Amino acid sequence: MSPSSTPGLSRLKKNQKLSLAGVAAVAAAALTFSLAPGNASAEAETKEVAAGAVAWNGYSTQELQESISGQQSALELKAAADAKAKAKAAAAAKAKAAAQAKAKAAAAAKAKAKAQAEAKKRAAEKAAASRAAARKPVYPNNLDGWIREAMSIMKKQGIPGTYHGLHRNIIRESSGNPNAINNWDINAQNGVPSIGLLQVIKPTFDAYHCPGTEKSQYDPVANICAAANYAADRYGTIDNVFGAY
Protein backbone atom coordinates (compact mmCIF):
# COMPACT_ATOMS: atom_id res chain seq x y z
CA MET A 1 0.00 0.00 0.00
CA SER A 2 1.38 3.35 -0.96
CA PRO A 3 1.67 6.20 1.62
CA SER A 4 -0.96 8.19 -0.25
CA SER A 5 -3.51 5.41 0.35
CA THR A 6 -3.20 5.78 4.20
CA PRO A 7 -5.92 8.21 5.36
CA GLY A 8 -4.52 11.25 7.25
CA LEU A 9 -0.89 10.08 7.17
CA SER A 10 0.06 12.61 4.55
CA ARG A 11 -1.29 15.38 6.74
CA LEU A 12 1.02 14.59 9.75
CA LYS A 13 3.66 17.11 10.52
CA LYS A 14 7.29 16.18 10.32
CA ASN A 15 7.81 16.04 14.12
CA GLN A 16 4.70 13.89 14.55
CA LYS A 17 6.02 11.45 11.94
CA LEU A 18 9.30 11.29 13.81
CA SER A 19 7.37 10.67 16.99
CA LEU A 20 5.48 7.76 15.46
CA ALA A 21 8.67 6.34 14.07
CA GLY A 22 10.23 6.46 17.49
CA VAL A 23 7.28 4.75 19.07
CA ALA A 24 7.40 2.02 16.42
CA ALA A 25 11.06 1.46 17.02
CA VAL A 26 10.59 1.20 20.79
CA ALA A 27 7.64 -1.15 20.33
CA ALA A 28 9.63 -3.37 17.98
CA ALA A 29 12.52 -3.54 20.40
CA ALA A 30 10.15 -4.40 23.22
CA LEU A 31 8.51 -7.14 21.15
CA THR A 32 11.82 -8.68 20.21
CA PHE A 33 12.99 -8.64 23.81
CA SER A 34 9.81 -10.26 25.05
CA LEU A 35 10.24 -13.22 22.70
CA ALA A 36 13.29 -14.40 24.65
CA PRO A 37 12.16 -17.53 26.50
CA GLY A 38 12.40 -18.10 30.30
CA ASN A 39 12.78 -14.47 31.36
CA ALA A 40 9.78 -13.33 33.42
CA SER A 41 11.38 -10.17 34.71
CA ALA A 42 12.46 -9.23 31.22
CA GLU A 43 8.88 -9.66 30.09
CA ALA A 44 7.65 -7.32 32.84
CA GLU A 45 10.24 -4.72 31.92
CA THR A 46 9.15 -5.07 28.28
CA LYS A 47 5.58 -4.25 29.25
CA GLU A 48 6.79 -1.15 31.14
CA VAL A 49 8.79 -0.03 28.12
CA ALA A 50 5.83 -0.57 25.84
CA ALA A 51 3.57 1.36 28.20
CA GLY A 52 6.08 4.16 28.27
CA ALA A 53 6.21 4.17 24.51
CA VAL A 54 2.43 4.41 24.27
CA ALA A 55 2.41 7.29 26.78
CA TRP A 56 5.21 9.06 24.98
CA ASN A 57 3.21 8.75 21.81
CA GLY A 58 0.72 11.26 23.23
CA TYR A 59 3.26 14.13 23.28
CA SER A 60 4.97 16.06 20.57
CA THR A 61 8.73 16.47 20.48
CA GLN A 62 8.31 20.14 21.39
CA GLU A 63 6.23 19.27 24.44
CA LEU A 64 8.84 16.76 25.58
CA GLN A 65 11.58 19.31 25.09
CA GLU A 66 9.62 21.88 27.06
CA SER A 67 9.09 19.35 29.85
CA ILE A 68 12.79 18.54 29.95
CA SER A 69 13.65 22.24 29.88
CA GLY A 70 11.25 22.86 32.80
CA GLN A 71 12.86 20.09 34.82
CA GLN A 72 16.31 21.45 34.05
CA SER A 73 15.20 24.92 35.13
CA ALA A 74 13.86 23.51 38.41
CA LEU A 75 17.14 21.70 39.00
CA GLU A 76 19.10 24.85 38.23
CA LEU A 77 16.94 26.89 40.63
CA LYS A 78 17.43 24.26 43.34
CA ALA A 79 21.19 24.20 42.73
CA ALA A 80 21.28 28.03 42.94
CA ALA A 81 19.24 27.98 46.16
CA ASP A 82 21.55 25.32 47.64
CA ALA A 83 24.62 27.34 46.65
CA LYS A 84 23.10 30.49 48.17
CA ALA A 85 22.27 28.66 51.42
CA LYS A 86 25.78 27.20 51.54
CA ALA A 87 27.33 30.64 50.97
CA LYS A 88 25.09 32.12 53.69
CA ALA A 89 26.10 29.38 56.14
CA ALA A 90 29.78 29.93 55.32
CA ALA A 91 29.39 33.68 55.83
CA ALA A 92 27.65 33.09 59.18
CA ALA A 93 30.41 30.71 60.30
CA LYS A 94 33.04 33.25 59.25
CA ALA A 95 31.26 36.04 61.15
CA LYS A 96 30.96 33.83 64.24
CA ALA A 97 34.67 32.96 64.11
CA ALA A 98 35.53 36.65 63.71
CA ALA A 99 33.33 37.58 66.69
CA GLN A 100 34.93 34.87 68.83
CA ALA A 101 38.41 36.03 67.83
CA LYS A 102 37.45 39.63 68.64
CA ALA A 103 36.06 38.62 72.04
CA LYS A 104 39.20 36.60 72.79
CA ALA A 105 41.42 39.53 71.81
CA ALA A 106 39.34 41.89 73.98
CA ALA A 107 39.61 39.54 76.96
CA ALA A 108 43.37 39.25 76.48
CA ALA A 109 43.70 43.04 76.23
CA LYS A 110 41.61 43.48 79.39
CA ALA A 111 43.73 40.96 81.29
CA LYS A 112 46.91 42.65 80.09
CA ALA A 113 45.62 46.08 81.12
CA LYS A 114 44.63 44.74 84.55
CA ALA A 115 48.07 43.17 85.04
CA GLN A 116 49.74 46.42 83.99
CA ALA A 117 47.55 48.41 86.40
CA GLU A 118 48.36 46.05 89.27
CA ALA A 119 52.06 46.22 88.46
CA LYS A 120 51.87 50.00 88.35
CA LYS A 121 50.05 50.06 91.69
CA ARG A 122 52.64 47.81 93.31
CA ALA A 123 55.43 49.98 91.93
CA ALA A 124 53.74 53.11 93.30
CA GLU A 125 53.26 51.49 96.71
CA LYS A 126 56.87 50.37 96.75
CA ALA A 127 58.05 53.85 95.80
CA ALA A 128 55.85 55.41 98.50
CA ALA A 129 57.20 52.97 101.08
CA SER A 130 60.74 53.81 100.01
CA ARG A 131 60.05 57.54 100.34
CA ALA A 132 58.45 57.02 103.73
CA ALA A 133 61.41 54.95 104.87
CA ALA A 134 63.76 57.64 103.62
CA ARG A 135 61.84 60.32 105.55
CA LYS A 136 61.58 58.27 108.74
CA PRO A 137 64.24 59.47 111.17
CA VAL A 138 66.63 56.98 112.66
CA TYR A 139 66.94 57.32 116.43
CA PRO A 140 69.99 56.14 118.34
CA ASN A 141 69.48 53.20 120.68
CA ASN A 142 70.06 55.17 123.87
CA LEU A 143 68.09 57.30 126.32
CA ASP A 144 68.18 60.37 124.11
CA GLY A 145 67.00 58.40 121.10
CA TRP A 146 64.23 56.66 123.10
CA ILE A 147 62.88 59.97 124.42
CA ARG A 148 62.93 61.62 121.00
CA GLU A 149 61.22 58.66 119.29
CA ALA A 150 58.59 58.53 122.05
CA MET A 151 57.96 62.26 121.65
CA SER A 152 57.35 61.85 117.89
CA ILE A 153 54.70 59.20 118.64
CA MET A 154 53.19 61.28 121.44
CA LYS A 155 52.90 64.26 119.09
CA LYS A 156 50.97 62.21 116.51
CA GLN A 157 48.59 60.93 119.19
CA GLY A 158 48.13 64.28 120.97
CA ILE A 159 49.91 63.31 124.20
CA PRO A 160 51.60 66.32 125.87
CA GLY A 161 55.08 66.24 127.37
CA THR A 162 58.47 67.86 126.91
CA TYR A 163 61.91 66.34 126.57
CA HIS A 164 62.92 67.88 129.90
CA GLY A 165 59.85 66.57 131.76
CA LEU A 166 60.33 63.04 130.41
CA HIS A 167 64.07 62.97 131.03
CA ARG A 168 63.70 64.30 134.60
CA ASN A 169 61.14 61.64 135.58
CA ILE A 170 63.06 58.81 133.87
CA ILE A 171 66.23 59.60 135.77
CA ARG A 172 64.31 59.68 139.06
CA GLU A 173 62.40 56.44 138.43
CA SER A 174 65.00 54.16 136.76
CA SER A 175 68.22 56.12 136.19
CA GLY A 176 67.65 55.48 132.48
CA ASN A 177 67.65 51.66 132.75
CA PRO A 178 64.86 50.12 130.59
CA ASN A 179 65.17 46.81 132.49
CA ALA A 180 64.72 48.36 135.95
CA ILE A 181 62.11 46.59 138.13
CA ASN A 182 60.81 47.39 141.63
CA ASN A 183 60.37 44.19 143.64
CA TRP A 184 59.77 45.73 147.09
CA ASP A 185 56.96 48.33 147.01
CA ILE A 186 53.22 47.75 147.43
CA ASN A 187 52.76 47.08 143.73
CA ALA A 188 55.34 44.29 143.87
CA GLN A 189 53.63 42.89 146.95
CA ASN A 190 50.36 42.86 144.96
CA GLY A 191 52.06 40.94 142.13
CA VAL A 192 52.30 43.82 139.67
CA PRO A 193 55.81 45.27 140.04
CA SER A 194 56.76 48.59 138.44
CA ILE A 195 58.92 48.02 135.34
CA GLY A 196 60.95 50.06 132.82
CA LEU A 197 62.18 53.60 132.37
CA LEU A 198 59.17 55.25 134.04
CA GLN A 199 58.30 52.30 136.33
CA VAL A 200 54.85 51.48 134.95
CA ILE A 201 52.80 48.59 136.38
CA LYS A 202 51.17 46.13 133.96
CA PRO A 203 47.51 47.27 134.39
CA THR A 204 48.48 50.91 133.75
CA PHE A 205 50.66 49.96 130.78
CA ASP A 206 47.86 47.94 129.19
CA ALA A 207 45.26 50.66 129.78
CA TYR A 208 47.40 53.50 128.35
CA HIS A 209 49.40 51.61 125.72
CA CYS A 210 50.02 53.68 122.58
CA PRO A 211 49.16 52.05 119.24
CA GLY A 212 52.21 51.47 117.09
CA THR A 213 54.52 50.68 119.97
CA GLU A 214 55.62 47.32 121.37
CA LYS A 215 53.35 45.64 123.92
CA SER A 216 56.11 45.17 126.45
CA GLN A 217 56.82 47.21 129.58
CA TYR A 218 60.54 46.64 128.98
CA ASP A 219 60.45 48.36 125.58
CA PRO A 220 61.79 51.87 126.32
CA VAL A 221 59.69 53.76 123.75
CA ALA A 222 56.47 51.88 124.61
CA ASN A 223 57.13 52.45 128.35
CA ILE A 224 57.66 56.21 127.92
CA CYS A 225 54.56 56.63 125.73
CA ALA A 226 52.27 54.67 128.07
CA ALA A 227 53.57 56.52 131.18
CA ALA A 228 53.22 59.94 129.48
CA ASN A 229 49.68 59.02 128.35
CA TYR A 230 48.74 58.02 131.90
CA ALA A 231 50.33 61.18 133.38
CA ALA A 232 48.46 63.37 130.86
CA ASP A 233 45.17 61.72 131.86
CA ARG A 234 45.80 62.11 135.58
CA TYR A 235 48.00 65.22 135.90
CA GLY A 236 47.59 67.04 132.60
CA THR A 237 51.15 66.29 131.44
CA ILE A 238 54.24 64.36 132.52
CA ASP A 239 55.83 67.76 133.12
CA ASN A 240 53.59 68.15 136.21
CA VAL A 241 54.97 64.97 137.82
CA PHE A 242 57.75 65.49 140.39
CA GLY A 243 57.45 62.35 142.47
CA ALA A 244 55.74 58.97 142.70
CA TYR A 245 52.72 58.95 140.46
Is 52 a member of any domain? yes
pLDDT, greater one: 1 or 85: 85
Q: How many domains does the chain have?
A: 2
- Could you say which of 58, 75, 92 is where a domain stops? 58
pLDDT of amino acid 1: 42
Domain closes at, from 58, 76, 94: 58
pTM passes above 0.75: no
pLDDT of residue 98: 92
In a domain, 210, yes or no: yes
Domain hosting residue 161, numbered range: 143-240
Residues 178, 224 contacting (CB under 8 angstroms): no
**How far, in Å, CA of 227 to CA of 202, rounded?**
11
The predicted structure's pLDDT at residue 12:
41
Structural domain includes residue 79: no
Distances in Å between the Cα of 191 and the Cα atoms of 174, 177, 199, 202 are: 19, 21, 14, 10
Q: Is residue 102 included in any domain, yes or no? A: no
Q: Is residue 83 part of a domain?
A: no
Residue 93 lies in a domain: no
For residue 157, which phi and psi values (nearest 5 degrees)? -100, 10
Provide the mean pLDDT of the chain. 81
Which of 58, 74, 90 is the endpoint of a domain? 58
More confident residue, 64 or 72: 72
Q: What percent of the chain has pLDDT over 90?
A: 57
